[in-house]
Amino acid sequence: MAGYENIYEYEPSLKGKGLAIGVVMSRFNQDISEGLLSACTSELKRLGVDEGSVAIATVPGALEIPLVLQTMARSGRFNALIALGAVIRGETYHFEIVSNDSCRALMEVQISTGIPIANGILTCEDDDQAIARMHQKGSDCAQVAVEMANLLGAIGGQS
């Protein structure tokens, strides 16, 4: 880029070696959540994250995910966290509450703890939409977690 020779730019890194990743998965809509988890863990492995450096906790539903993520973030054991689940629209307003509040709480945990969280809580109109998205979203979350952990590590390591 012309004119930016003296500006330092952090390069994205998807190298998972040496990173510890925590995953919290909702058991509600379990088939979809397990599809997300399968894609996520496969991608973490492909990126070089050691299987022994991945911890998975399950919770009843999407609203329970943020509290467990907060506990994991405060433990000091993880470089990044991943939230996995599916909220499928029903006939009541409950869909909006769960979707909005789970997302808001993930952001609050991320900002208050400084630990990056990849949001893999699908919010879909129906099961077909969730099934169509679960593998790509699970894989994307693994990449986001690794990239953000590396970026924050690089920024923290700058003198």
Long-range CB pairs of 107-110, under 8 A, 24+ apart, other chains included: 108/66, 109/66, 109/69, 109/70, 109/73, 110/73
Among residues 94, 101, 107, 112, which one is catalytic?
94
Sign of CA dihedral 141, 145, 148, 150: negative
> Is residue 94 annotated as a catalytic residue, yes or no?
yes
The partner residues of 1 in beta bridges, in order of sequence, read: none
Report the C-alpha gap between 99 and 103 in whole angstroms.
6
Report the C-alpha gap between 99 and 10 in whole angstroms.
33
**48: amino acid identity, one letter:** G
Active site residues: 94
